[in-house]
Structure 1
Amino acid sequence: MRTHSKNLSDTIVNILIYIFFIAFTLICIFPFYYLFINTISNNDLSSKGLINFIPKGIHFTNYLQVLKIRGLGQAAFITLSRTVIGTALTVFASAFLGFLFTKKEMWGRKFWYRFVIITMYFNAGIMPWYITMMNLKLTNNFLAYVLPSIISPFNIILVKTFIEGIPESLQEAAEIDGAGLYTIFFKIVMPLIKPILATITIFSAVGQWNSFTDTLFLVTDSKLFTLQFVLYKYLNEASSLAALIKNSQSGIAAANIANMQTATSVRMTVSMIVVIPILFVYPYFQRHFVKGVMIGAVKG
């Protein structure tokens, strides 16, 4: 009798857990779904908040209009370049420094490790940062997108902790066989730390892809504008234009323009374009993500 009662209670608990997580998943997915259906629905209905669950008047004009933005191709190339190059450099530097900080024979290991970590807690502020970047000739320079982000204290901590969980006997055996520092790093350590590398790749790639404040402060050359910055500018301009059209009495032509694009349709289309690439990349690294964070965060 007790066994039957226990099995029944376990089943009820499992059902409740499934219901909870299904509901939680739907809550997480719905904002993306809401954005998408509003970008492909009638712009006039969307601007009035009448599109909530089912798209109406389906069209893809919003995406076609956004893709016609002048300089969008160049901006996409700059963003893709900074994401790929910046992420690769950040991951390599984090992996190599994290590895070095585990080597007891490293000169001044504790000092340099603390020197790097302390930058997580102290920030000079925007003006000193801008003056430093200007003195380093990193204004209107593509290197401004990748150099400052190469050293990431948080990523170094994750890699260092992860490596400390690997048996030292592996490295010692390689040293006995005559392997040097770089051989051990590339042939022994790197293959074993793929989960944490995938984790910091996600962190770095998302940060690089979404960043536009460095463009706002450091770049005036339109050839170096990032995708997010161009879309941000267009968003502001489109919002102003939509408001102007709405309040004007210019006639039929203006009304047609307002029906084709509104501030709401532009805002949501821009948001989808920014999010879509990350949504495609993230699942590829998902299988390593949880394992990398858990092992890299807690030793042992």
Structure 2
Amino acid sequence: MSKKAVKSVSPAQRRTTGEKAFAVFNGAFFILFAFLCTYPFWYLMINSVSDNAASAAGKVNWWIQGFHLENYKQVFGLEGMGQASLVSLGRTVIGTVLTVMASAFLGFMFTQKKMWHRQFWYRFFVITMYFNAGIIPAFITMKNLGLTNTFWVYILPAIVQPFNIILVKTFIESIPSSLEEAAEMDGAGTMTIFFKIIMPMCSPILATVAIFSAVGQWNSFQDTLIYITDNKLYSLQYLLYTYINQANSLAASVKANAGTAMNVAAMATQQTPTSIRMTVSVIVVLPIMFVYPFFQRYFVKGMMLGAVKG
């Protein structure tokens, strides 16, 4: 009696009709969701490099029309853009580095049982998450400390973030304590353990804190609005806020500076309120988007391992 050949069936072929329908629906849903997330950025990009007249008329929706880069050239020529870019870059880099270092060190120290009144100081930091004195007391405090109209008003108040400290502390508690004990037996001090053992093992959670801090620093404009009157210290986000509110007058100013004689080719690159808004938005949004590819592989792991325990 001959044996019948048994055909191998792949897992995809064994799925029921309902499972296949769910897979199709699931894929379609996430494709739509991804489109909804990416389209606003795409819309900003194509309108910032398209024919300004077509963009102002709402004709640029899916693809570039009349490609040019004059918008960026003219917007970067606006007063204060270069200085504001340096201020935002400086506060983002310096603020992120200091916030990460402070979060790492305090998170580590709050796991050390030999720390003097460790539980008290930990609760003291955490309780500040739930209370806010308000804008006026905060302004008075910054003014009394001599921080108003200084670059450091962007940096110092944001260094210690209780939420970040909690994330780092919880992450460090997941590291086997035997590593620290072995280092102590070899004669390593607290700082040696922190820099040579704890810090290298905390890369995922520190990358997560770095993303939070960098995005927060780059996107912040309210502190400029409250504490700064010197236009040399304006941040890029604050200029975005003012330029969007003044888009009509800026467009008229650029047009006047360009001269009154306009040919057909020049009309395509003539600034409009829409082109001002789109271009400045891209300039502000695009740099911080490049942060994510470098830290994305750490982000999920850091959030999971650094999640607050119940």
- Normalising by the residue count of structure 1, what TM-score does the alignment of the two structures yield? 0.90
Q: 2:290 is matched with which residue? A: 280
Alignment of 1:17-166 (within 5 A): 17-166=26-175
Q: Tell me how many residue pairs correspond in the alignment.
A: 294
Q: Is this contact kept in 1: 2:56–2:275, CA < 8 A?
A: yes
Greater shift in the superposed pair: 134-143 or 9-18: 9-18
Name the CA distance, whole Å, in 2 between partners of 1:231 and 1:7: 53
State whether residues 245 and 258 of structure 1, in contact with CA within 8 Å, keep that contact through their aligned partners in structure 2: no
**Distance in 2 between residues matched to 1:258 and 1:25, nearest whole Å:** 32
Label 1:244 to 1:73 Cα distance change in 2 as closer, same or farther (>3 A). closer
Change (3 A) 1:129 1:155: same
CA distance in 1, matches of 2:268, 2:25: 48
The aligned residue for residue 179 of structure 2 is: 170
What code does the residue aligned with 2:249 have? S
Conservation of the 8 A alpha-carbon contact between 2:87 and 2:233: yes
Answer with 1 or 2: which has the greater Rg: 2
Q: Per the alignment, in what secondary structure is the counterpart of residue 306 of structure 2?
A: helix
The 8 Å contact of residues 162 and 299 in structure 1, kept in 2 or not, is answered as no
Distance of aligned partners of 1:266 and 1:245 in 2 relative to their CA distance in 1, 3 Å threshold: closer
1:192 counterpart = 2:201: yes
- For the Cα contact (< 8 Å) 2:205–2:302, is it kept in 1? yes
Deviations 1:227-247, CA, capped at 9 Å, x for gaps: 22233333333333558999x
The structure with the greater share of residues assigned to helix is: 1
**Would you say the 8 A contact 2:66–2:268 is kept in 1?**
no
| Counterpart pick for 1:224 among 233, 236, 246 | 233
In the aligned structure 1, how far is the partner of 2:44 from the partner of 2:243?
18
* SS of residue paired to 1:29: helix
Question: Which whole-Å CA distance do the structure 2 matches of 1:187 and 1:73 have between them?
Answer: 39
Q: Specify every segment of 5 or more residues in structure 1 that has no aligned partner in the other structure, as ranges.
A: none
In structure 1, the partner of 2:223 is 214
Offset, 1:5:
5.3
Cα RMSD after superposing both structures: 2.5
**C-alpha separation in 2, matches of 1:93 and 1:241:** 42
Aligned amino acid, residue 112 of structure 2: K
Unaligned runs of 5+ in 2: 1-8
Q: Say if 1:242 and 1:258, in contact at 8 Å, map to a contact too.
A: no
Task: Tell me which amino acid in the other structure corresponds to 1:104.
Answer: K
Offset of residue 165 of structure 1:
0.8
For 1:177 and 1:89, how far apart are their aligned partners in 2? 30
Residues 266, 106 of structure 1: alpha-carbon distance in 2 compared, 3 angstrom cutoff: same
Give the Å deviation of 1:177.
1.1
1:249-296: CA deviation from partner (whole Å, max 9, x where unpaired): xx877x988971111111111111111101111111000001111110
Are 1:268 and 2:281 matched, yes or no? no
Q: Which amino acid aligns with 2:281?
A: S
Give the percent of matched residue pairs that are identical in Structure 1 and Structure 2.
60
In the superposition, the TM-score normalised over structure 2's length comes to: 0.87
How far, CA to CA, are the matches of 2:200 and 2:17 in structure 1? 46
| Partner Cα separation in structure 1 for residue 111 and residue 200 of structure 2 | 17
Offset of residue 166 of structure 1: 0.9
2:103 maps to amino acid: S
1:154-190 CA distance string (max 9 Å, x none): 1001001111111111111111111110011111111
Contact 2:254 2:271 in 1 (8 A): no
Q: Which segment is superposed worse, 227-236 or 9-18?
A: 9-18
